[in-house]
């Protein structure tokens, strides 16, 4: 039997890219297979084996699981919040059916552990905004949030009913600079830095005082890998764990950047996000 491998799905995205490289650093490049729907993403991974895969294509996915001996899957493929509102049905399909494809395939191929990220988008207008506990009232208002909340329930269902080991974190907005963000509401907090440097001005789609929870990428990578390495018996949450870092508003970021780039300008054009 060949040595078992780790499969990263959605590996070419903002988080997948960094997790894939960190897993390769920890376990060695021969242990990792990176995959994404984008064939051109091969170039990102250089010495890590890359396979182009649409997670909705059950036949291709099954063939991949039969070819290799995987023991762990990280599933990052999704359509994010702001992009999701432009095509709700496709977002539901990719986010929910994509997750079920991964879980079903894993169940039939003896995969020991899966990581799948949920999001703060599971919370809604009536969820307490400060010190939000693990199980508050959740009434998401975007198709992305609805897909994540139902994903959490599917994860819990398979964990309870089939004794699977699917682990999850409710990521806040992840701030990084290596890969362009994929269309989330918190992406402004990345874009603002790029615009400050490239054009000296930024038009923000949120109000100046909208505070959103964020996390720096290295902390998100660390939290993810630590959760995956924790002994199963130490985990009590079957859905998805809250994970927190800091909250920030566009105005605060603007003032901070202005200290370095005094001519930096911002205007606020709040939209559906
Ligand atoms: P991203 O959009 O940057 O990356 C997602 C990747 O999935 C892309 O490379 C895309 O090509 C790929 N993909 C899309 N459809 C696919 C399909 N059918 N088959 C295979 N690959 C497909 O997103 P991200 O920011 O890296 O987010 C990764 C995960 O983390 C998602 O589940 C997202 O909901 C969750 N999350 C992200 C954030 C954040 O701030 N980035 C916050 C909360 C949760």
Atom of ligand 1 nearest to the CA of 116: 32
Average of per-residue pLDDT values in the chain:
95
Per-residue confidence band for 1, with pLDDT thresholds at 50, 70 and 90 = low
Ligand 1 mutation pick, 38, 182, 212, 216, max ligand atoms within 8 A of CB: 182
More confident residue, 45 or 184: 45
Ligand 1 contact, 143 CB (< 6 A): no
pLDDT band at 267; cut points 50, 70, 90: very high
Candidates 50, 74, 144, 202; catalytic one: 144
Is the confidence at residue 219, as pLDDT, over 60? yes
Say how many Å lie between the CA of residue 1 and the centre of ligand 1. Answer: 32
Q: By percentage, how much of the chain surpasses pLDDT 90?
A: 92
Measured from the Cα of 15, ligand 1's closest atom is 26
- How far is ligand 1, taken at its centre, from the CA of residue 115, in Å? 13
3-state secondary structure the chain: CCCCEEEEECCCCHHHHHHHHHHHHHHCHHHEEEEECCHHHHHHHCCCEEEECCCCCHHHHHHHHHHCCEEEEEECCCCCHHHHHHCHHHHHHHHHHHHHHHHHHHHHCCCCEEECCEEHHHCCCCCCCCCCCCCCCCCCCCHHHHHHHHHHHHHHHHHHHCCCCEECEEECEEECCCCCCCCCHHHHHHHHHHHHHHCCEEEECCCCCCCEEEEEHHHHHHHHHHHHHCCHHHCCCCCCEECCCEEECHHHHHHHHHHHCCCCEEEECCCCC
The residue whose C-alpha atom lies closest to atom 44 belonging to ligand 1 is 119
pLDDT band for position 273 (cuts 50, 70, 90): confident
To the query of whether residue 144 is one of the catalytic residues in this protein, the response is yes
pLDDT at 7: 98
* 227 Cα: distance to centroid of ligand 1 (angstroms): 19
Q: pTM of the prediction?
A: 0.96
| Ligand 1 centroid, distance to 57 Cα (angstroms) | 17
- Is ligand 1 within 6 A of the CB of residue 38? yes
Quick one: average pLDDT of 168-195? 91
Residue 185: is its pLDDT beyond 90? Answer: no
pLDDT digits (tens, 9 = 90+) for 101-147: 999 999 999 999 999 999 999 999 999 999 999 999 999 999 999 99
Ligand 1 atom closest to Cα of residue 186: 40
């Amino acid at each position: 039997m060949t040595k078992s491998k780790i499969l990263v799905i959605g590996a070419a995205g903002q988080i997948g890219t960094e997790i894939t490289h960190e897993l390769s650093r920890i376990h060695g490049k021969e242990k990792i297979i990176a995959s994404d729907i984008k064939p051109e993403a091969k170039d990102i991974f250089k010495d890590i084996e890359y396979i182009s895969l649409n997670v909705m294509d059950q036949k291709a996915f099954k063939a991949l699981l039969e070819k290799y001996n995987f023991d762990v899957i990280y599933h990052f493929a999704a359509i994010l919040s702001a992009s999701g509102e432009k095509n709700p049905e496709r977002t539901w399909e990719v986010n929910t059916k994509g997750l079920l494809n991964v879980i079903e395939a894993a169940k039939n191929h003896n995969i020991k552990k899966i990581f799948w990220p949920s999001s703060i988008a599971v919370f809604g207008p009536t969820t307490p905004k400060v010190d939000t506990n693990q199980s508050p009232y959740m009434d998401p208002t975007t198709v992305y949030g609805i897909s994540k909340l139902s994903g959490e329930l599917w994860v819990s269902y398979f964990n309870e009913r089939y004794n699977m080991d699917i682990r999850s974190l409710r990521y806040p907005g992840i701030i990084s600079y290596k890969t362009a963000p994929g269309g989330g509401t918190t992406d402004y907090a990345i874009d603002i830095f790029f615009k400050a440097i490239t054009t000296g001005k930024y038009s923000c789609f949120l109000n100046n005082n909208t505070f959103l929870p964020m996390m720096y990428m290295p902390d998100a990578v660390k939290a993810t890998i630590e959760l995956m390495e924790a002994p199963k018996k130490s985990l009590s949450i079957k859905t998805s764990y809250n994970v927190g870092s800091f909250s920030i508003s566009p105005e605060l970021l603007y003032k901070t950047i202005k200290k370095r780039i005094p001519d930096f300008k911002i205007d606020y054009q709040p939209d559906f996000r």
